[in-house]
A = this chain, B = another copy of it.
Amino acid sequence: MNISIHRPTFVTHLECSMTEERYEADRLHGLSRAGRPLLVRYDLAAAGAAVARDAIEARPTDLWRWRELLPVRHTASIVSLGEIETPLIPIPHSAGGNVLVKDEGRLPTGSFKARGLVMAVAMARELGVTRIAMPTNGNAGAALAAYASRCGIETIVFCPEDTPEINVREIAMQGARVWRVNGLIDDCGAIVGRGAAEGRWFDFSTLKEPYRIEGKKTMGLELAAQLGWELPDAIFYPTGGGTGLIGMWKAFDELEALGWIGPKRPRMYAVQASGCAPIVRAFEAGEEHAERWEDAHTVAAGIRVPRAVGDFLILRAVRQSGGKALGVGDPAILKAVDDCARRDGLLLCPEGGATLAAYREALRTGEVDAEERVVLFNCATGLKYPMPAAPNTLDRHAPIDFDAL
């Protein structure tokens, strides 16, 4: 990666995702006055004149190759931990020959949250933020802690009390102050909101600052470049807050505006756990917004998000794409994780397992067919999650029955 060169941004302004009201760039923003996420807008004509698709391809493959489509104005603001392009891995035995897993577990701190947070922290630094708070189910907090600690920004993180131990410890190891809260992620978000309203810190909740989505959209940019500027037929995306799905959908529009891809879009499948499926319920009911899901529970903690501030953006993208919102049960998730590890040697996180489970079900119902090119997102390394015990022991001092091994 070469981040030492000057990197102009082509940002023109920010825009309310609901009302299209304009907001000035280079200022600190949270939600819009309508209480909705802000989207970053670029002068894409100028960006396209400044850089060609071929020039992008000639650059090192990390996230910063997309700099003309990213909001960071000063190279010195970037706090990098090596945001590599994540590989696409076939899983022929557990899914079929046309399915690729985009393995986001290879990013810093082991999850796709690094994409959003590397961007949001760079912008926070650029705009003078010195104290950040965030609610998290684990991985976002770890990414925030890593990037913020690296540049001396103070961080306070709140997570549900049953967040996996490894996530909480990782956040603390990486220099954040972390608190377990007796509630779910939106309960944690309420605490962050109160502190932000009192001016104690800047609120880094999903979609409540405008730049995480710009980092996450690089998943869509990368996918286009990796697949020869031909998007897949379908994308299965584990959907909690939905930043990545919204971001990819935005990225595809930007790529088409640049003339780098055509009008073809993948069908976007928003995958949720059936124990916490507000987007699925709203999709099926034909609603534009999703009500809070009560009594949320699933082994896939990362998508245990009862209420998403970007609900309408997720639903809009899914519908425009001709995709669906799909719910899968915990047994199917665990079975998918197990099959993929055992037969394809790839250890998915439960949320990644959910996409495989949803793909299998979609194949069974004819929603997708086996000939279609499909990408599943594995959003984190499977190593962060509980695995079944392996209890076999052998006494080296006793006679060994080799036939029984």
Contacts and interface: CB of A to CB of B under 8 A. Distances in A.
Interface of A: 1, 60-62, 79-82, 84-85, 87-89, 93, 103, 106, 108-110, 145-150, 156, 158, 161, 165-166, 168-175, 177-183, 187-188, 190-191, 194-195, 198, 200, 338, 341-347, 381-384, 387-390, 392-397, 400, 402, 405
The 6 A-B residue pairs with the shortest CB-CB distance, nearest first, are A82-B87, A146-B345, A172-B390, A150-B345, A169-B387, A175-B342
Q: How many copies does the complex hold?
A: 2
A251 to B, nearest CB: 21
A174 B390 contact: no
Contacts of A174: 341-342, 345, 347
B344 A150 contact: yes
B393 A198 contact: no
Given A84-B87, A106-B106, A345-B147, A170 B383 contact: yes
A173 B341 contact: yes
Classify the secondary structure of A's interface with B: mixed
22 contacts: A60-B61, A81-B346, A82-B88, A84-B84, A93-B150, A146-B341, A146-B347, A147-B345, A149-B344, A149-B345, A169-B387, A169-B388, A171-B390, A172-B390, A174-B347, A175-B342, A180-B392, A180-B393, A181-B394, A194-B402, A195-B405, A383-B383
Given A181-B393, A181-B394, A194-B400, 11 more contacts: A1-B87, A84-B84, A146-B346, A180-B393, A181-B396, A188-B396, A190-B396, A194-B402, A195-B402, A381-B381, A383-B383
